[in-house]
Chains A and B, each alone.
Chain A
Amino acid sequence: MSNRLRGWHLMFASVITRLCVLIIIILLASWSIYLNYKVGYNNARLVELADGKLVATFYRMSDWFFSCFGDPVAAMQSNGGMTWSIRLFGVQITDPIAATSVFLNNGQLAFGFFIGALIPLSLALLFGRVFCSYICPASLLFFTIGRLRRLLGRFFYFPELPMNRFFAWGVLCGGVVLALVTTHGIWALILPYFAVGQTIFHAITFGVMHVAVFSILFFIVVDFALGYQFTCRHICPTGRLLGVIGAKPLVSIRRDASACIDDCHSCEQVCTFMVSPKKDETRDCSLCGECMSVCPASCLSVGTKKAIDVSSSGIVVNTDVASEV
């Protein structure tokens, strides 16, 4: 299988996994409604009498689906939450930002909560910023906007604002200070994926529009007006944090310098995270595989960095030329 095809597979997989995360969030929220009906009525006919045919159909379908997980209240206790803090089959997964925020405010961390933060951190150490292109449901939105920008870019002009990484660090510090002054819930307006989670949860469980919708709208406008995946690159503090933690991951994109074409810059041009595989950058790479899919020489692959160092040890001259260009 060629590396280009592998790149397409990775891109396909990243979209699928993010869609799955989105579906899981929606399922968890609708599970809550099902729980209310199960405890309150426990009978499709009664639900139909109370709230109509549509809700009764929903109840029947959820009864069929959720009864696979056993007793509804017990099952809800091991599954719940959103990308900010989620329990799946009893395993607690915590956002590193949530852990930081609570730790700075309270000075101590609940054990399970702390352990939950190690999962995304170790993921970042192993694979880099994979959270951004494989888990984050908001980045699916920004990914779509990036495609739209590229498509419409043939007819319209979309600006690309130059920005440095310290803006996101500023957002992180400002957010932590704000969380100390107000509540940790304020992150729902700063972190895109938490905003998406809260919006979906409130829309489904309570049937109301959450304030986070405005923050999502703001991110959408910013993404259209200021740059490719601008929110992911320059606003989202989690992305910045994971980008730095996973700056030199165990598994990352690697380049076979002997096969690389000197004058070709297609991988740099296509990367929406503005990473340059050509210069062997790994920071902020989220393994989305887009550069692999466009590389004409098929010289990019995913793997451990060391393996490529051994294979390309004799071609030092080539990389020097590439970095001068």
Chain B
Amino acid sequence: MKLSRRNMIVGFIAGAVLPALIPLLAKIPGAGRLKRFLRPPGAKSEKEFKSLCIGCAQCANVCPNNCIEMQGFEDGADNFLLPMIIARSKACILCMACTQVCPTDALTPMPATKEGMRAVAMGKAVLSPDLCYSYHGRTCGACYRSCPLPGEAMTIGLFEKPTIHEDKCVGCGLCEQSCIHMPQAIRIIPAHEIESKELRHGKA
């Protein structure tokens, strides 16, 4: 085939347009957009995380708890193939294995110690006392017993009433997973949600 300039340009443009059709896949109607998912521990700010994560799934591969899932198109093309954790179905056990294997440092390497756990910022737990059994005279305390930082991130009072200390909570989601009330009385607000809210209200 002759390589005229016209052929070159036409070929180049045709090639460049072809990938642009892919985001249309996200327009296919289906499941709604999921907002409350956590990023694995050690994730940087959402924007930086997205610019670094290459979707190689090594974090999901190494996770011994199998809690890291890769996102699909249902969460939009801008979340495609990023790792996420749904705390209610399976929460992070803060073993930090995923942070050790990330090739691009989208997840900052962290040690699997108490100090490493305290440095994690996946989100903040929020309690709804209206739903909590302990606030209605039925002592439960399941969330406190699952907390990896008991006494720091969460303290417990009379009738096992939990209190969350927001500044110490790392947002691993174990309390949300273990809550025996349906729907859960304790939820994690993901770090990227807090981040975008702060941006909207001009706090950050």
Contacts and interface: CB of A to CB of B under 8 A. Distances in A.
Interface of A: 28-29, 31-32, 35-36, 38-39, 72-73, 76-77, 80-82, 84-85, 87, 92, 94, 98, 101-102, 105-106, 109-110, 112-113, 116, 162-175, 177-178, 181-190, 198, 201-202, 205-206, 210-211, 214, 235
B50 A94 contact: no
B59 to A, nearest CB: 9
Contact of B54 (A102, A112, A175): A102
Nearest to B62: A76
A166 B8 contact: yes
B19 A184 contact: no
B97 A186 contact: no
B23 A182 contact: yes
B80 A183 contact: yes
5 contacts: A98-B54, A113-B105, A177-B16, A177-B20, A189-B25
A82 B80 contact: no
Interface centre among B50, B97, B103 (most CB of A within 10 A): B103
B189 interface: no
B17 interface: yes
A190 B19 contact: yes
Chain B: interface secondary structure?
A: helix
Contacts of B8: 164, 166
B43 to A, nearest CB: 13
B23 to A, nearest CB: 6
Given A166-B7, A201-B57, A210-B72, 4 more contacts: A31-B61, A98-B56, A166-B12, A187-B55
B13 interface: yes
B194 to A, nearest CB: 21
Interface in B77-115: 77-82, 95, 97, 100-101, 103-105
A32 B66 contact: yes
A80 B18 contact: no
Interface residues of B, number: 52
Contacts of A35: 62, 64
Given A36-B66, A76-B61, A102 B12 contact: no
A183 B60 contact: no
A80 B101 contact: yes
List 5 A-B pairs, minimum CB-CB distance, nearest first: A170-B15, A185-B81, A185-B55, A174-B16, A166-B11
A113 B102 CA distance: 9
Given A164-B11, A174-B18, A106 B81 contact: no
A81 B61 CA distance: 7
A110 B103 CA distance: 8
Given A170-B16, A183-B78, A116 B65 contact: no
B149 interface: no
A28 B56 CA distance: 13
A32 B61 contact: yes
B80 A167 contact: no
B22 A39 contact: no
Contact of A170 (B14, B60, B65): B14
B11 A206 contact: no
A164 B19 contact: no
A80 B22 CA distance: 27
